[in-house]
Amino acid sequence: MANWLILGVLAAGSIATMTAATIVNVALPAVIGALGLGQDEAQWLSTAFLASSTGAMLFNTWAMARWGMRAGFAFAMATFTAGSLAGFVAQDLSLLIAGRVMQGAGAGLIQPMAMLVIHSRFPERARGLALGFYSLCVIVSPAFGPVLGGALIDAYDWRVIMVATTPLAVLAGAAGWRMLPRRDEGAPPLALDWLGLVLVMVSLALALQGLAHGAREGWDDAGVQARLTAAAASAITFLAWEARHPAPVLELRLFRQPGFCAGGLAILLTGAAVYGSTWLAPLFLQQVQHYSPAGAGEILLPAGLAMAVCFPLAGRLTDRVPLGFLLAGGGATFAWGMSLLAEAEMQTEGAAIAFALVLARAGIGLMMPAAHACAMRQAAGRLGAAAPAATFLSQTGGALGVAVLSALLAQRTAFHGDALLPLVNVSAFHVGVGIEEVSRAVWSTALMLAFRDCFMVTGLAGLALLPVAMLSGERTNFTDRLKRALTLFR
């Protein structure tokens, strides 16, 4: 029972932090209006959280050895709470982003703790159940973030969402201080690869900045090109350094195995699909279809429920069905849902949007457990290095996916707006309406078409899993696997 209580405390902290990862998505239109931001600036509220979370995950192993689980968890919850309060009182974008960075750092620091508890304190026969319970909390929480956020924004204000999960974080921190184990004083000191950590964070930050500024200032801008070049140089230096370091923050030797490479690529694509679609959908519902935040949350709710059902089912199927089948099936289902959204218009019924989102979330629920299982099975005996690597790839894919989609949305809106611009004067002359009214209609149409382009590109991440599935590295008897899968329905 004590082990389950410890896991429950960690799960409560993860629910508080991971809900905060996506709860802000439904508030972006309100934040844009309140602070006078552009779309490329507002996306930092998502990407700053994900980038900071990525760095904190790589920092976790050293923090656990230096501080212990109790102090490390308390520090994470305190950092998350401080970031939430900073976002709540922020009057400009700088402080708001700083708050999101602090929230992401707290989230990233605690996520690997549960994996350590599950594999070190639970007996082998109970690990699957414990892992399923914790994974469900971590994966489903972001899916329901926009639902909670929409209700809170309609009832109060966008600032409330910044502290929506703070009470749970405070309670989890207090419970963790009483229940989580202290630092093992006999444990040997662990060196931290500071240079590797700095290089990967600099590379990711510069890449995100380059994508954001490129959408606003143009890709031929000298500053944009300098940022992207420096990001690539930092990434190459990071890889060269990690290959020689005795205690790297990212174990590159794992990627010598083709199966782990395939699983890692699937995790990267899945992260981009998950966070990219979660960022796009609330914006489309509010900016194109003009739903209220709460109305958008209601449309998103069935998709969260679909993911909650499919995720544990897929977890069981990973032991019974070839992982390539789950990756391909999940990717195709996700791409199907995105293709339906790529045909949506301003007047498309909410039920049709909800159905497309259900398909997309069901696909994610199938492919995410399979992608992680594919990577972990290739890392037997090296789970301590493989788990942070898998999480790093997922968060990096999410951050880059949101940044790329934000840049694409701005670029395609401008493209479609320029293509429709000749209609402004013609329509105003022939129909007899004001130029301003026609211009608003043209801009709304351009924005709708840009969202459709982004949904189509996001769906390509699912289709890209089809060739990856063939590289999953499994060579198993299909008949045996089919028989074992059928036992689920007996």
Specify whether 178 is located in the same domain as 302.
Answer: no
Question: Rounded to whole angstroms, what are the CA distances from 405 to 30, 124, 171, 460?
Answer: 19, 42, 36, 12
Q: What is the distance between the terminal CA atoms of the chain, rounded to a whole angstrom?
A: 31
Nearest to 159 by CA among 244, 87, 92: 87
Residues with Cβ < 8 Å from 120, sequence gap 6 or more? Answer: none
Residues 343 and 289: beta-carbon distance below 8 Å: no
Q: Is residue 187 part of a domain?
A: no
**188 part of a folded domain:** no
On whether both 97 and 224 belong to a single domain, the answer is: no
Name residues of the chain where pLDDT drops below 70: 1, 119-120, 124-125, 127-128, 131-132, 184-190, 315, 318-319, 379-384, 423-436, 438, 471-490
Q: Does residue 207 belong to any structural domain of this protein?
A: yes
Name the burial class of residue 195, with classes exposed (0-12), middle (13-18) and buried (19+) by CB atoms within 10 angstroms of its CB: middle
Residue that is last in its domain, among 131, 149, 182: 182
Query: Do the domain assignments include residue 427?
Result: yes
Question: Is 113 part of any domain?
Answer: yes
Q: How many angstroms separate the CA atoms of 49 and 100, rounded?
A: 5
Residues 143 and 216 in one domain: no
172 assigned to some structural domain: yes
In this structure, the answer to whether residues 280 and 173 fall within a common structural domain is no
Q: Containing H/E element for 379?
A: none
User: Is 487 a domain residue?
Assistant: yes
322 and 271 in a single domain? The answer is yes
Same domain? 368 vs 278: yes
Choose among 371, 343, 400: nearest CA to 472: 371
pLDDT per position as a tens digit, 356-400? 999 998 998 888 877 877 777 776 666 667 777 887 888 888 888
Question: Same structural domain for residues 116 and 4?
Answer: yes
Same domain, 113 and 203: no
The residue type at 347: Q
Same domain, 283 and 198: no
Task: Determine the pLDDT at residue 425.
Answer: 57
Number of domains in the chain: 3
Residue 37 neighbours by CB under 8 Å, 6+ apart: 31, 93
**301 and 439 inside one domain:** yes
Are 366 and 401 in the same domain?
A: yes
**Tens digits of residue pLDDT in 100-118:** 999 999 988 887 787 777 7
The CATH code of the domain that includes 27 is: 1.20.1250.20
Residue 342 and residue 222 share a domain: no
Last-in-domain residue among 129, 150, 182: 182
| pLDDT value for 427 | 52
Amino acid at 418: D
Q: What is the pLDDT of residue 327?
A: 84
Residue 411's nearest CA partner among 213, 180, 252 is 213
Task: Return the amino acid letter for 160.
Answer: V
Angle, to 10 degrees, between the axis of helix 44-89 and the axis of helix 383-420? Answer: 100
pLDDT for the residue 478: 44
Give Cα separations from 478 to 323, 370, 371, 482, 484 (angstroms). 11, 17, 19, 6, 10
**Residue range(s) defining the domain that contains residue 266:** 254-490
